[in-house]
Chains A and B, each alone.
Chain A
Amino acid sequence: MSATMEAVASAARADAPPAILLDKVNKWYGAMHVLRDVSLSVALGERVVVCGPSGSGKSTLIRCVNRLETHQEGSIKVDGIELSDDLRALDAIRREVGMVFQSFNLFPHLTVLENCTLAPIWVRHMPKAEAEALAMEYLERVKIPEQAMKYPGQLSGGQQQRVAIARALCMKPKIMLFDEPTSALDPEMIKEVLETMVGLAETGMTMVCVTHEMGFARQVADRVVFMDRGEIVEQGPPGEIFENPKTDRLKLFLSQILRGH
């Protein structure tokens, strides 16, 4: 029963245009070739985990999706809109794509509530009261409504990252990008952030997440993408990737990751 429902769901996904479509994307930092012919399609509602050794280009890849980095060759389409130098297209895309950073990047001079309401008020032109109500709703969802009037500096790392997630959600994005969201956290705080992300995944949000949390990948991901040296080396459902790695590179990487845990 549930298998058929999943099949139906995936069929529906296949029909809809992809949320993110990368076609032969290339990027160089000076002479360094950091993305090499990367092609990737993420369907609406799909949850993709990107992993790989450091310097493999995984962060650069997702930062190209909302143009914090510019790619030099190939095309990137987000929600059907092509990324280019056209600022209006870029604004439209950034409104639909939320991002969570490794180092939280909350605005330290604003309260938690102001962090969450700033963009809805000034980008979405939402009335202040409505934005505040929305912010409180999301702060409750990430389980820290009582911290709304505090400043980010007064919160723990895990709390700050949950605020960052709430801040991104307040823009009601269609797609969420996570750039190593737990890498800067202490072990006991990693858990609370991952739980928040699992909860978000259950709502059907399209998510692309760069992480080394293999437990999270197994539990949540529809697909795991393994990158090395600017290329996508292997991709597939988490079970397949983790149990039957095909390439030596991925085998080596997995053995190193597992030894570390």
Chain B
Amino acid sequence: MSDAATHTPTPARTPPITLVGPIGWVRTNLFSGWVSSLVSLLLLFLVVKWVLGFLDWGVFNAIWSVPNDAAGRPDTSSCRALAGTGACWAVIGEKHRFILFGTYPYEEQWRALLAILVFIALFIVSAMRRFWRKELALIWIGALTLIGVLMWGGLLGLAYVPQERWGGLVITLILATFGLAFAFPLSILVALGRRSKLPAIKALCVLYVELVRGVPLISVLFMASVMFPLFLPEGMNIDKLLRAQIAIILFAGAYLAEVVRGGLQTLPRGQYEAADALGLSYWKKTGFIILPQALRLVIPPLVNTFIGFFKDTSLVLIIGIFDLLTAGKTAIIEPAWQGFGIEVYLTVGFIYFCFCFAMSSYSQRLEAELNQSRGR
């Protein structure tokens, strides 16, 4: 019998519960020293206090509906009696159709709702990579035509609704979707033009970008709504919404062009040279080699700009177009509902948030997916 007879391997143990799992995480991240413990406790206290306060106001003390008075108007005295200690969600119940559809005729508002649903379906389909084919362009043309028919009417037995009566969420979606759908291709052309070897094209693109970037969007909208009609021959009138739409397209185009140009510049020169050496023409090189890589690189700033412009469409309120925010603002002009702005603005803000957050999380997923296919 020697000492070196047998060696029993030490069995693997699970790490102590204080190092891994939720407990370990809390210990290392929240309570690693007395300063961090103090800060954690303070923040926890503030969060709990704030959440409880909000629940009190928004849920427990809130009033969800109000009765009508003798004249058939809503009686908001119970809401006013709360004196700010509880939310009056009745305003949303009463005004939600105005916020979503603006002054669109009440009996026809199902058409506006349908248009919103078509928009959302269009976004979902476009987001799926397996639909990224040539047919997607046809789907877009079809969906946008359908939305136009629904909103305007005047055929298929639908009553005609003039554009002045459109409003609410539909207007926001129209401005943002058409705006970005046209601004994005425009921006690619401008970005390519800015790198062109032809001096005239290059100068034109630089001039456009610098000119548009040099003025605020509000002033472009003002010009589109006030000054532009002065230059038109008498009797000719271009729809106000269309003018605002064009202003937004031109404005977003300039900003997006700079983002795309950033992507083009980060591509190594070798990619251009390899494509040239293979004999690919300019447009084939651009379409197959340069843009797929450049656009992938700039997904985060692109989506950033997209989100910014989605919200910037609310600036059309200054030229009197009824978008989501303006509709919300107008909904509380009625004396009975004055003073319940917080509830309305929270709701409008929540709708904006849903769209923006969807864009943001989609872009993160897309980025991860595209990088995966590169084996990184």
Other CB < 8 Å A-B pairs besides A99-B277, A171-B278, A171-B279, 9 of them? A98-B277, A101-B270, A105-B270, A105-B274, A107-B293, A108-B374, A109-B373, A153-B375, A167-B278
Of A115-123, A199-207, A249-257, the one contacting chain B is: A115-123
A101 and B274 within 8 A (CB): yes
Which chain A residues (141-179) contact chain B, with CB distance < 8 Å?
A: 150-151, 153-154, 167-168, 171
Q: Which residues of A contact B281 (CB under 8 A)?
A: 91, 123
- Name the B residues within 8 Å of A36 (CB-CB): none
| Known contacts A95-B279, A122-B288, A123-B279; is-contact A107 B375 (Cβ 8 Å) | no
Query: A106: nearest residue on chain B (CB-CB)?
Result: B274
On whether the beta carbons of B288 and A118 are closer than 8 Å, the reply is yes
Nearest chain A CB to B296 CB, angstrom units: 7
Q: Which residue of A lies closest to B288 (CB)?
A: A118
Q: How far is the CB of B133 from chain A (nearest CB, A)?
A: 16
Residues of A within 8 A of B278 (CB): 94, 118-119, 123, 167-168, 171
The interface residues of chain A lying within 8 Å CB-to-CB of B213 are none
- Kindly state whether residue A60 has any CB partner on chain B within 8 Å: no
Q: Does B37 contact A (CB under 8 A)?
A: no
Contacts of A118 in B (CB 8 A): 278, 280, 288
- List of A residues within 8 angstroms of B279 by Cβ: 91, 94-95, 119, 123, 171
| Number of A residues, CB within 8 Å of B | 26
Say yes or no for A39: interface residue by CB 8 A criterion: no
How many cross-chain pairs have Cβ atoms below 8 Å apart between A and B?
A: 67
Closest 10 CB pairs of A and B: A105-B274, A94-B279, A105-B270, A119-B278, A99-B277, A154-B375, A151-B375, A123-B279, A153-B375, A95-B279
By a beta-carbon cutoff of 8 Å, the part of chain A in contact with chain B is 66, 68, 91, 94-95, 97-99, 101, 103, 105-109, 118-119, 122-123, 150-151, 153-154, 167-168, 171
Asked if B369 is an interface residue, CB under 8 A from chain A, the answer is no
- One digit per residue, 1 when the CB lies within 8 angstroms of any chain A CB and 0 when it does not, for chain B 48-82 equals 00000000000000000000000000000000000
Can you report 6 A-B residue pairs in the complex whose CB atoms are below 8 A from each other? A66-B277, A91-B281, A94-B279, A101-B274, A105-B270, A118-B280
Q: Given the complex, which residues of B lie within 8 Å of A168, measured CB to CB?
A: 277-278
Q: Bound state CA distance, A105 and B285, in angstroms?
A: 14
| Interface flag for B273 (CB, 8 Å) | yes
| Chain B hits for A150, CB < 8 A | 375
B277 and A94 contacting across the interface, CB-CB below 8 Å: yes
A154 nearest in chain B by CB position:
B375
Q: Please list the residues of chain B having a beta carbon within 8 angstroms of any beta carbon in chain A.
A: 268, 270-271, 273-281, 284, 288-289, 292-293, 296, 373-376
CB neighbours of B292 from chain A (8 A): 109
Check if B374 sits within 8 Å of A151, measured CB to CB: yes
Complexed CA–CA distance, A124 and B296 (Å):
28
* Given A109-B296, A122-B284, A122-B288, A153 and B274 contact (CB-CB distance below 8 Å): no
Write out the residue numbers on chain A whose beta carbons fall within 8 Å of the beta carbon of B280: 118-119, 122-123
B271–A103 CB distance below 8 A: no
Chain A residues contacting B296 (CB-CB under 8 Å) are: 109
Q: Which of B277, B280, B376 has the most CB of A within 10 A?
A: B277
Expressed in whole angstroms, the minimum distance between the Cβ of A121 and any Cβ of chain B is: 10
Contact B284 A107 (CB under 8 A): no
Contact of B271 among A97, A107, A151, A154 (CB under 8 A): A107
Chain B residues near A106: list those with CB within 8 A: 274
| CB of B269 to closest CB in A, whole Å | 9
The answer to whether A107 and B277 touch (CB under 8 A), given A122-B284, A151-B374, is no
- Distance between Cα atoms of A107 and B316 in the complex (Å): 44
**Pairwise interchain contact A103-B293, C-beta atoms closer than 8 A:** no
| Pair B293/A108 contact, Cβ less than 8 Å | yes
Chain B residues, CB < 8 A from A105: 268, 270-271, 273-274
Interface-central residue, A94, A105, A171, by most chain B CB under 10 Å: A105
Are B375 and A68 interface neighbours, CB within 8 A? no
Q: How far is the CA of A123 from the CA of B270 in the complex (A)?
A: 19
